Amino acid sequence: MTGQTEQRIGTAYAMPVKCHTWLRVTECGSQQGPQVAVLASLVLSEVQMKVVYRAESEFGVGTADPIALTMPLVPVGERIAQPPRVVRAPGGGSTMSLQLFNHERVAMSEERVLGPCVDGVREALLPTIARVDLVAWLSPRAPTKRLERQSRLDGEMVFVSAFSARLRLRPHRPAVGGGDEATLEVPLVHAGTTIHFRERIIERELPGTTSVTLTFLDSDGRAIGRERTLA
């Protein structure tokens, strides 16, 4: 809680994410080896916020049914895109594979074999878990407004650790004129990367003294962390 006007909640979350990767292979006839262009993005899971208003009279007796609102914080299909990167594959033919690693070089996914490095387009989708901190805060839209009459909901999601995708290109015949193995590291997210949620305005007027509870929800509507009551 900050002063008398802003109240916040936070929780750690192991967020299911997917690395969506497009690979375009060209110049397979080149003596320098094929050229592989990689376009990767991190597809995030949906996160919602449930806001529940409960009104009581000055005697502590309920005067109205609770009002519950659910709103998206991380929309469906939200992604963090990376700029395209290019690497040369070994000459003489090679096989491509893709795997995810964290900042300590610990594997975060299986190694997915994508097949031979020949002209064309490949697509891969690798699931993994990202450690994030979710934070949201509710504050009056203006200093003169009461919290329950017109409120602003803000929030952010912070990645706790970094991880990347590694493309490996293994030569078919390294000892018979083929090149050495080539690798390309594509950072997907850095530690401290922050996504700011879009501001939401909540307008509700209830009789009596109103308490507000906030709960993060995952894409299936399950609670992330516990429900928090704001005074």
DSSP state of 173: -
pLDDT of residue 2: 40
pLDDT of residue 52: 85
* Whether the Cβ atoms of residue 166 and residue 183 lie closer than 8 Å to each other: yes
Interacting residues of 9 by C-beta distance below 8 A, sequence separation 6+:
135, 136, 137, 214, 216, 225, 228, 230
- Cα–Cα distance for residue pair 138/155, rounded to 1 Å: 9
Domain residues of the chain, as ranges? 7-230
* Whether the Cβ atoms of residue 169 and residue 23 lie closer than 8 Å to each other: no
Which residue's structure tokens are 């594959």? 89
| Chain CA centroid to CA 148, Å | 30
The encoded tokens of residue 1 equal 């809680």
pLDDT of residue 218: 95
* Whether the Cβ atoms of residue 124 and residue 96 lie closer than 8 Å to each other: no
pLDDT of residue 178: 47
* Whether the Cβ atoms of residue 108 and residue 102 lie closer than 8 Å to each other: yes
Question: Sign of the C-alpha dihedral, residues 19, 22, 28, 34?
Answer: negative
Q: How far is CA 14 from CA 17, 18, 139, 227, in A?
A: 9, 13, 27, 17
* pTM of the predicted structure, to 2 decimals: 0.82
- Cα–Cα distance for residue pair 87/100, rounded to 1 Å: 18
10, 78, 39, 66: which is closest to 216 by C-alpha? 10
* Whether the Cβ atoms of residue 147 and residue 212 lie closer than 8 Å to each other: yes
Q: What is the pLDDT along the chain (231 residues), one digit of tens a residue?
A: 344 467 788 999 999 999 999 999 999 888 888 999 999 999 999 999 998 887 765 555 555 677 788 888 999 889 999 999 999 998 888 999 999 999 899 999 999 999 999 999 999 999 999 999 999 987 776 655 454 466 788 899 999 999 999 999 999 876 554 458 899 999 999 999 999 988 887 765 555 556 778 899 999 999 999 888 875
The encoded tokens of residue 67 equal 């009002």
* Whether the Cβ atoms of residue 11 and residue 160 lie closer than 8 Å to each other: no
* Whether the Cβ atoms of residue 214 and residue 197 lie closer than 8 Å to each other: no
